[in-house]
């Protein structure tokens, strides 16, 4: 909207001669009107400068100074690569490198063996006979045309002498479904592990596996998988919520038509659990955490404040906050740069703890000056920084009591990278799909992400576990456990 001078109409146009004819009162009125307009323009300029600064700050947000994922960064805005000393070695394998040959399959596992014997001597041409006890072995692996196994059960009806007709019943161990456990597990692997859409999974089933299936059949296989995984996933929830340390994060996930939901993850070293919710509130976080009483590693999101008393705030997120402050002008920018310097000192010491050259007790003592310095910088920033930056410092001061849990508690990491790595697969699934449109679909997403992520952490083969769980469900039996104890006893499938 244009900003107009607040001058009476009679004063809008005048020249020197006209000004000389003005009386003293008119001149005073004109000066007062000009002063009022100038003051309004000055206020407008200050407002617009602040607005431009805020818009430039928003435009400059990226994965290094905010919670935005790296995939959202513009190609031209990626940070320059760190300078490194150029190596004189050529890329690739170096001289003397031990070659990595493909391991041959044992003879007893080979499908067919063809023996090739020379007929004549390559020097004199005499005929040759006999066998070589150690022939040179060459193998190649191929896939034959895939023909699905179709098993038909025919129930005959026979007539008795008394005239009654009796029909045979199906064996009780047969599933009440047209698809066997291997086929259902393959469908779940395509959609829940490989993150194919239902239509692409259907195309693979029809054209590669030669299985006649409809789009509804894919959805029914997903529903059957979700039911089969209900009990082992419930066990994982109880196991995760009883762990001493857990890492939590959340990301958006579509629920229905143009409705944004939130996918929460809670991860521990040998398992993880997912939960879909319609909001990002403290109540949703409480439902995820449940009865957890350990140390919760999270970002600074306020919904976690009332969830766990023992908590560690992620220092990777704090570094982004410090970086964002350092890009501001004035006191806030200078304080942000100093905070980044203290962050670098802190993590130089932490890397020594991680490498085993420094104990946690030594780390705690040597970081005491860094703690005091960071507290002083945050406190001074909350008092003396620009008004629009004071709120950021105040929010950090509120969460400061959760900055240093990792320095005292064994097994606690200073960052939430564990949860962010676990949720990465869910983000890729979200980007390649339209979200979920039903409660049944929500349960499938939660349980498949829980099972596949837990299998990956424990070194299990997801397809093998899914096949066993679905087979047990179709027979009315209990699915195999996903708990780490089961993995130690050998009830798992190792990745070849």
Quick: pLDDT tens for 226-283.
999 999 999 999 999 888 999 998 888 887 766 788 888 999 999 999 988 888 888 8
Structure tokens of 215?
A: 């789009």
Domain assignment present for 479: no
Domain hosting residue 386, numbered range = 315-408
Least confident of 131-135, 277-281, 456-460: 277-281
Q: How far is CA 345 from CA 15, 98, 275, in A?
A: 67, 40, 37
> Higher confidence at residue 54 or residue 158?
158
Residue 300 CA to residue 400 CA, distance in Å, equals 10
Cα separations (Å) of 186 from 104, 183, 338, 445, 465?
27, 5, 54, 16, 11
End-to-end CA distance of the chain: 68
DSSP 107: G
Mean pLDDT score, 332-361: 89
Distance between CA 297 and CA 476 in Å, rounded? 39
List all residues 6 or more positions away from 305 whose beta carbon is below 8 Å from its beta carbon: 282, 399
Which H or E element spans position 159? Answer: strand 157-159
Name the pairing type of β-strands 311-313 and 295-298. Answer: parallel
Distance CA 496, CA 486 (A): 19
Answer whether residue 382 is part of any domain: yes
Mean residue pLDDT of the chain comes to 83
From residue 177, how far is each of 246, 356, 441, 466, 475 by CA, in Å? Answer: 39, 55, 19, 17, 11
Q: How far apart are CA 269 and CA 247, in angstroms?
A: 9
User: Is the pLDDT score of 203 beyond 90?
Assistant: yes
pLDDT of amino acid 71: 57
Burial bucket for residue 379 (CB in 10 Å: 0-12, 13-18, 19+): middle
Contact 314, 299 (CB under 8 A): yes
State how far the Cα of 331 lies from the Cα of 336, in Å rounded to an integer: 8
At which of 387, 408, 429 does a domain end? Answer: 408
Residue 276 lies in a domain: no
Integer Cα distance of 262 and 255 in angstroms: 8
Burial of 168 (0-12, 13-18, 19+ CB in 10 A): exposed
DSSP letter (8 states) at residue 171: P
Q: In this predicted structure, what is the pLDDT of residue 372?
A: 92
Q: Residue 26 falls within a domain, yes or no?
A: yes
pLDDT in tens, 71-120: 555 556 555 666 666 667 777 777 878 877 788 889 888 989 999 999 99
Asked whether residue 348 is assigned to any structural domain, the reply reads yes
Cβ(271)–Cβ(482) below 8 Å: yes
Distance separating alpha carbons of residues 121 and 281, to the nearest angstrom = 83
Q: In this predicted structure, what is the pLDDT of residue 463?
A: 92
pLDDT at 470 over 90: yes
- Does residue 454 carry a pLDDT above 70? yes
Calculate mean pLDDT across residues 347-374: 89
Indicate left, alpha or beta for 121 from its phi (over 0: left) and psi (-120 to 50: alpha): beta
Whole-prediction pTM: 0.76
Among 168-177, 210-219, 459-468, which stretch is predicted with the lowest mean pLDDT? 168-177
Q: Is the pLDDT of residue 465 over 90?
A: yes
Last residue of a domain, one of 408, 434, 452: 408
Answer yes or no: is 162 within a domain: no
Residues 430, 253 contacting (CB under 8 angstroms)? yes
Residue 210 tokens, joined? 């030669």
Name the token pair of 478: 């209990």
The residues near 179 (Cβ < 8 Å, ≥ 6 apart) are 187, 213, 217, 220, 221, 224
Q: pLDDT grade, residue 493 (50/70/90)?
A: very low
Closest CA to 346 of 380, 375, 311, 381: 375
Query: pLDDT at position 75, please?
Result: 58
**Nearest alpha carbon to residue 155 among 129, 131, 174:** 174
Phi first, then psi: give them for residue 70, nearest 5 degrees: -60, -30
Q: What is the model's pLDDT at position 491?
A: 43
- Cα torsion 395, 401, 406, 409: sign: negative
Provide the number of structural domains found in the chain.
2
Q: What is the pLDDT of residue 277?
A: 84
185 confidence band (pLDDT: 50, 70, 90)? very high
pLDDT value, residue 305: 81
Q: Taking every pair of C-alpha atoms in the chain, what is the biggest distance, in angstroms?
A: 134
260, containing H or E segment: strand 260-268
- Sheet containing strand 311-313, edge to edge, reads 271-277, 260-268, 245-254, 295-298, 311-313
Domain boundary among 408, 429, 446: 408
Residue 489: pLDDT above 60? Answer: no
Q: What is the pLDDT of residue 79?
A: 59
pLDDT of residue 82: 62
Lookup result for tokens 């006649």: 212
Residue 451 lies in a domain: no
Cβ atoms of 450 and 272 closer than 8 Å: yes
Residue 389 in any domain: the answer is yes
- Cα(495)–Cα(456) distance, integer angstroms: 9
Higher-scoring residue by pLDDT: 347, 100? 347
């Amino acid at each position: 909207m244009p900003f107009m001078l607040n001058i009476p109409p009679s004063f809008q146009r005048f020249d020197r001669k006209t000004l000389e004819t003005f009386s003293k009162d008119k001149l005073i009125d004109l000066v007062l009107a000009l002063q009022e307009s100038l003051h309004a323009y000055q206020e407008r300029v200050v407002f617009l400068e602040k607005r431009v600064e805020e818009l430039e700050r928003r435009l400059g947000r990226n994965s290094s100074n905010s919670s935005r994922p790296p995939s959202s960064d513009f190609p031209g805005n990626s940070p320059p690569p760190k300078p490194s000393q150029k190596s004189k070695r050529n890329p690739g394998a170096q001289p003397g490198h031990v070659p990595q040959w493909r391991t041959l399959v044992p003879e007893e596992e080979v499908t067919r063996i063809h023996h090739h014997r020379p007929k004549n001597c390559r020097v004199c041409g005499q005929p040759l006979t006999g066998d070589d006890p150690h022939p040179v072995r060459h193998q190649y692996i191929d896939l034959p045309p895939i023909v699905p196994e179709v098993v038909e059960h025919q129930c005959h009806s026979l007539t008795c002498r008394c005239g009654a007709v009796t029909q045979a019943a199906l064996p009780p161990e047969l599933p009440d479904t047209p698809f066997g456990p291997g086929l259902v597990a393959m469908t779940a692997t395509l959609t829940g592990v490989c993150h194919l859409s239902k239509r692409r999974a259907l195309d693979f089933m029809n054209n590669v596996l030669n299985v006649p299936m409809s789009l509804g059949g894919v959805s029914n296989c997903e529903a059957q998988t979700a039911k089969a995984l209900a009990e082992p996933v419930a066990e994982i929830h109880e196991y995760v919520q009883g762990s001493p340390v857990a890492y939590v994060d959340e990301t958006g996930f579509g629920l229905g038509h143009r409705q944004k939901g939130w996918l929460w993850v809670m991860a521990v070293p040998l398992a993880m659990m997912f939960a879909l919710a319609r909001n990002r509130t403290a109540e949703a976080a409480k439902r995820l955490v449940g009865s957890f009483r350990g140390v919760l590693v999270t970002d600074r999101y306020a919904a976690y404040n009332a969830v766990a008393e023992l908590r560690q705030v992620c220092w990777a997120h704090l570094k982004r906050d410090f970086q964002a402050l350092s890009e501001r002008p004035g006191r806030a920018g200078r304080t942000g740069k100093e905070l980044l310097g203290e962050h670098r000192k802190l993590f130089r010491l932490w890397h020594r703890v991680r490498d085993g050259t420094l104990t946690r007790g030594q780390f705690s003592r040597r970081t005491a000056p860094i703690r005091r310095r960071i507290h002083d910088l945050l406190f001074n920033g909350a008092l003396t920084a620009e008004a629009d930056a004071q709120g950021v410092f105040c929010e950090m001061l509120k969460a400061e009591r959760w900055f240093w849990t990792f320095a005292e508690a064994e097994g606690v990491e200073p960052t939430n990278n564990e949860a962010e790595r676990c949720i990465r697969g869910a983000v890729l699934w979200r980007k390649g799909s339209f979200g979920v449109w039903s409660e049944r679909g929500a349960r499938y997403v939660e349980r498949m992400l829980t099972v596949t992520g837990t299998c990956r952490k424990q070194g299990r083969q997801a397809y093998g576990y899914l096949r066993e769980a679905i087979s047990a469900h179709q027979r009315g039996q209990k699915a195999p456990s996903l708990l780490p104890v089961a993995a130690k006893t050998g009830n798992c499938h190792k990745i070849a």
